[in-house]
Chain A
Amino acid sequence: MDSVVGECLVAFIFGSVVGLLVQRSRFCNTAALRDAILFKTFRNTKALLVAMMILTIGFTGFLTVGEGNPMHFDVGLNQVVGLFLFGVGMVLAGACTVSTWVKTGEGNVGALWALLFTFIGMFLFSLLWTVNFWPPAASSMTGEPNLEALQLGYSNAATLQEKYGIPAIVFGILQTLVLAAIYKAIRRKEEAQHARHEATMQAKEGSTPSAGPQSVAAD
């Protein structure tokens, strides 16, 4: 799309629908990770996995025929460290980038505060970047590994297709199968949790047969 106004309009419409759907579904990316780790509940994790499966097929399918606008920049150690800090931060704040906006839209002042300090964190990083200029700016990226700058270069399903002559969608199907296997493992875990819960409830009911009548008599 060439028009700046058109791009911004499409982005706004997309964002509006996303905001509405996230608000109505109570989906939260933070909960998708935190609840799986702490509480062994997977409501949001399953939704995230399903979305990733659909997206993998869609993106790699279009990349196979040379369509789409993939993100293009070199990656390296900064992604691991940066997202590590982000992961700690989102659990402490109780919201990620999506839920800060969505919860702010619901009137949550804490989310607005988190958003404000996300901006301040970004600005502080911009000051620190002046000291070491790391990670390298996009203009100095080559797409090739640059180990001195702890950068591994650029690669995605399209570059794999180019390098090995295998359609990008084939890699996408493999990734989708891995995601589906994780989804299935979660479902099995949930079924086992449910079965344990049922068994505990039945055992409790079985061990207190006289509790009911006594209570009634007491009334």
Chain B
Amino acid sequence: MSVVSGGPQTLAEFFKKTLDPVIALSAIAVLDIFLFLVVGAWTVGGGETMMTGLAAELILGEEAVARIPFWSLVFQPDAGYWKIYISLGMLFGAAVGAIASKEFYLRLPRRLSEWVLITLGGLLMGFGIRLAFVCNVSTFFGLTPEMNLGGYLSISGIIAGAWVGSMIYKKILEG
């Protein structure tokens, strides 16, 4: 199977070699345009929020979650929300790719400091997504290409944040 001109020539090669990210992202961009026409541009944060609401209902009960205004005024938990399935699809697609290329294996952070950084990073990402209404995917693959003012605001925020995060990371690397 010829995947992309200039890229891997067979399916076996596709799962053996690393694909050029420019080719991969160009293909994703074309698919994203199709998605934009059918339902809306690629986003991840919205689906994750809905999954959070559904998980909270499962753990705390529907009544308890309904008493939190956010879950009735901003996001009403709904398993039929299409954005959830983008994330689940990514998980599935990545697992297929990893298994087919024999790259699937359990990896665990080795040091306690890594666990702490990942925990803090995850919390900041989740809090930031909900505060902004958008994630990095909606910023770069939705809002900005639509020339939405929110895209430019988000890009300025994420670049500044990535710079601060990189400086913290550098300090940690330097010990």
Q: Which residues of A contact B (CB under 8 A)?
A: 1, 4, 7-27, 29-30, 33-34, 37-38, 43-44, 46-48, 50-52, 54-56, 58-60, 62-63, 67-71, 73, 75-98, 100-110, 113-127, 129-130, 133, 135, 137-139, 152-158, 160, 168, 171-172, 175
| A155, closest chain B residue (CB) | B149
Q: Which residues of A contact B109 (CB under 8 A)?
A: 109-110, 113
Q: Which residues of B contact A71 (CB under 8 A)?
A: 40-41, 43, 134, 138, 142-143, 146, 148, 150
Query: Would you call B89 and A16 a contact (CB within 8 A)?
Result: yes
Query: Would you call A27 and B21 a contact (CB within 8 A)?
Result: yes
What would 13 more interface pairs be, CB under 8 Å, given A8-B84, A17-B27, A59-B145? A23-B103, A54-B26, A58-B145, A82-B131, A86-B129, A88-B161, A94-B117, A97-B45, A97-B137, A101-B94, A114-B119, A118-B123, A121-B129
Query: Would you call A55 and B33 a contact (CB within 8 A)?
Result: yes
Q: How distant is A10 from chain B, measured CB to nearest CB, in Å? A: 6
Query: Would you call B159 and A129 a contact (CB within 8 A)?
Result: no
Chain A binding surface SS class: helix
Mask of B105-139 contacts with A, CB within 8 angstroms, 1/0: 11111000011011111111111111111111111
| A21, closest chain B residue (CB) | B24
Q: Which residues of B contact A120 (CB under 8 A)?
A: 122-123, 126
Answer whether residue B1 sits at the interface, using C-beta atoms and an 8 A cutoff.
no
Interface residues on B, range: 35 or more
Chosen A-B contacts, 6 in total, with CB atoms closer than 8 Å, are A11-B83, A19-B89, A21-B28, A47-B22, A59-B145, A127-B70
Query: Would you call A4 and B31 a contact (CB within 8 A)?
Result: no
Query: Would you call B19 and A21 a contact (CB within 8 A)?
Result: yes
Q: Which residues of B contact A156 (CB under 8 A)?
A: 143, 146-149
CA distance A155 to B49 in the complex (A): 24
Q: How distant is A163 from chain B, measured CB to nearest CB, in Å? A: 12
Q: How distant is A175 from chain B, measured CB to nearest CB, in Å? A: 6
Q: Which residues of A contact B120 (CB under 8 A)?
A: 89, 92-93
Q: Which residues of A contact B146 (CB under 8 A)?
A: 59-60, 63, 70-71, 156-158
CA distance A191 to B158 in the complex (A): 27
- In the complex where A63-B146, A93-B117, A137-B74 touch, is A37 in contact with B135 (Cβ < 8 A)? no
